[in-house]
Amino acid sequence: MRSCFLLFAATTIIFFASAGCSSKQDESGSGEQDSRKDTTNLTRVGDKVPSFSVITTEGKQISTINTEGKVLVLNFFATWCGPCMKELPHFESEVRRQFKDKRLVAICIGREHSLEELKQFEKEKGFELPMAPEPQRNIYKKFATRYIPRNYVVGKDGRIKYQSIGYGEEEFGRMIDVIQKELLNQIQ
């Protein structure tokens, strides 16, 4: 009986440690969920992106207004979230570096983080990603009720073309495919 309990406890811990993060106190979610079936989404593919505006750690404003006509890639993360920490290096190399000269705006929003925390995080990790603090979840709550990391690709028409919850290499690859398709649509 005790060994069954220990096996169940170990399996539960491994599942939650490898999944998306909900809050500092509650880690759960799924690395490769179908976001259409998830009840924590407040948006759907095809919806107009909710209006938002952030100031990056470099002092630059990024908003739905100044990204009109461009492809926007939006990431919600937290520095304490294990799956987020696995994803951000890929976001840096496969999104920001690969597409930086294209008409693409990428922003990582630090959910529940202050400006000072994100500046320190960028310095420690060496990220060059545009990051913006969001200590009160005012933007996040327009998109979802819980779980990070979350990614959104918004087309030049201002509509959500892709959204995901958690991090998995296969799902991340699907996001890259959508970004490439949307950038090709911009040329036409």
SS3 31: coil
pLDDT-derived band of residue 102, with 50, 70 and 90 as boundaries? confident
Average pLDDT, integer, range 153-168? 97
Average pLDDT, integer, range 106-116? 97
Of residues 22 and 156, which shows the higher confidence score? 156
pLDDT digits (tens, 9 = 90+) for 114-147: 999 999 999 999 999 999 999 999 999 999 999 9
Supply angle C-alpha 99, 102, 107, rounded to 5.
60
Please check the confidence at residue 151 and state whether its pLDDT lies above 80.
yes
Specify the pLDDT at position 5: 43
Query: What domains appear along the chain, each with residue ranges and CATH number?
Result: 2-187 (3.40.30.10)
pLDDT digits (tens, 9 = 90+) for 12-39: 333 444 456 765 433 333 333 444 467 9
Average pLDDT, integer, range 72-91? 97
| Cα 138 off chain centre by | 15
Specify the pLDDT at position 117: 97
Specify the pLDDT at position 98: 87
The torsion region of residue 158 among left (phi > 0), alpha (psi -120 to 50) and beta comes to left
> Which letter, b or e, does each residue of 148-167 get, where b requires 16 or more Cβ atoms within 10 Å of its Cβ?
bbbbbbbbbebebbbbbbbb
**C-beta separation of 149 from 87 below 8 A:** yes
Please check the confidence at residue 11 and state whether its pLDDT lies above 50.
no
